Structure 1
């Protein structure tokens, strides 16, 4: 019996008669748990899950007719909207008998629903207000600094002290960042001191994080799981960031290349593993349990901590796919197991995971048009298939909804490495996506 089969059996046994309900950004993210007998519901903001007819599915976009950009849209900000009320009622209905709720990311919206179903629902995630603390980047960075891990040299500058930035700018370009960000939203790159005032992100905290822009750094990501008695680390990848054909933001998230990671030196892989385990232990000491992610930059041969993602990530789905193919337990399954108090299994060395995994790229294409539009995401997939005949796609937008600027058009799975730096794609693939983006802008507005 494989490692995955054993853990799946134990998770199923501990769930017992409880029906598992997923609530996340994308319905298709639950696919790695499709073989869990208790999987009952998949509720999502975009991309309804339709791979198993036995799984009850509802996507928020089907209630509104709009596919939103989740980096700037949060259901917690729309609790009184008619669509949210309808979505909440459907979720309450799915949780009307013995069940377990699995969140992509804890939310106040979900915490309220859980307490309204407390007698029959087990919440397999942190209380939303607890998780919120781990999203405050300066607090986390200060703790990681105390662990002795190298990191980006952020300076925290009060709104009243912007003149301090003039001294920092003498060393080159800068990055300005809010304390809470997601998917590259909340970061601004400035090339000169003259740009600082106009790009300064005024927020309620009245301070901004400032750091030098590290030219030529390789962006890395890894997923892991915190157990009550250990930490397991999963497939690392090179992050795809700020690619013009795929995203509207300078540092916008575009996916993950799990193949290019094989080119890293073995000692870098070991540093990723060791650092992530130490961060996981710190998280556990502060009440965190379950899966999380860490971003790093590899700059001039030095691994620098960037941020913790205290939730599942955009890379989780593809990381799980690689683990399932290898017969290994994955981040979704391990998150469930950790919350069901299963003992931590023996960790698989990161180098061994990389050696046994096949090349895979998870590429997320966002709509880069000037405004929302009715798009047929399948036409994007057709364009890409002209240069990548074996590409697979999910989370595909439909012409029945209006896709907001910056929202996901489709998530593409490509069985090879597609980048050299994380900030570009190979030419043919990039041209295919650019060609589709340009053509979609020319479509009649009523489509």
Structure 2
């Protein structure tokens, strides 16, 4: 699975680096059309996670994951021949739908295979994913340097080929028996426990589904700002450097290098310290602290001159990466542990929406609100994320308490005739 993920992310890295230029110089779209294309794909991606989770409750996860990879293979091949904007809009949207669905199914499948070693797998997963993105970006750089229509088409075919190979690797990976996401109900006592009717956590919650479980939806809603490190690192810091500081533009690639190296070196060590659900809940508060410190450095970077701004921006990139290291293990662990065992797949599909929503709304929040407000905008963002992280921590611990009480409650004997 880790090799499959590395190849998947390498292909995705190729496409991410080349897609905007391909749409602009090969297809001939203007900036507005490219923006609409990418925006529509982001909206489609939001639906990918819950759809994948819903299907995973009814069909084998491995088969669905293979299908998602083959769907992306087909749509990418269509991009080689589709030039009409309306059709291209549909193809790109379906591609991103399959992409987000595949990532959710990938984590569901890994949850089954890894079992209680989820944190370790997540660490290895993050390391292999970052290595894959770096490899893909390097391959894309070669094609972009050539710059011909044929070179762009080769990059698309390389991405499509990666999905074909990944589908074959998943097909060769066996799903363990008896360790699925759906387990039999523990007993009728869980349906009416201390959680109360508004936030049932046993079979009652599973029967109602994630969309009617207010406690879990609260977790997913609060998890959206816990993914803002992605937009801060990829969009906020580079644009702030260009628009509000005296730091050299050549510093921008260093942010990606810092992020990749630190994730590869430290992810396993961070994961070793977050092995239980309660530790994951505590780590959410650390996410808020790291994000606030990152935003504070960005707020003051503009007043530091060339060297001061450069140092502040690099330190902010380190702190954004620290937040990512914590979030990558705490978010999924809580998503798994806070979901009823009887319907984890559908619940985790809804949890996957947090990242998709952030990818769509995060850039708009940073460019349209935070950076428009100047340094005060960064301070407000950091304060808000830190405060929400404490709310998320408290809410998660309360739900964990309810789950533990339900597990300790003995099942009610069935009534005799």
Point out the structure with the larger helix share: 2
TM-score, L = length of structure 2: 0.29
Point out the structure with the larger strand share: 1
Higher relative contact order (CA 8 A, sep 6+): 2
TM-score, L = length of structure 1: 0.27
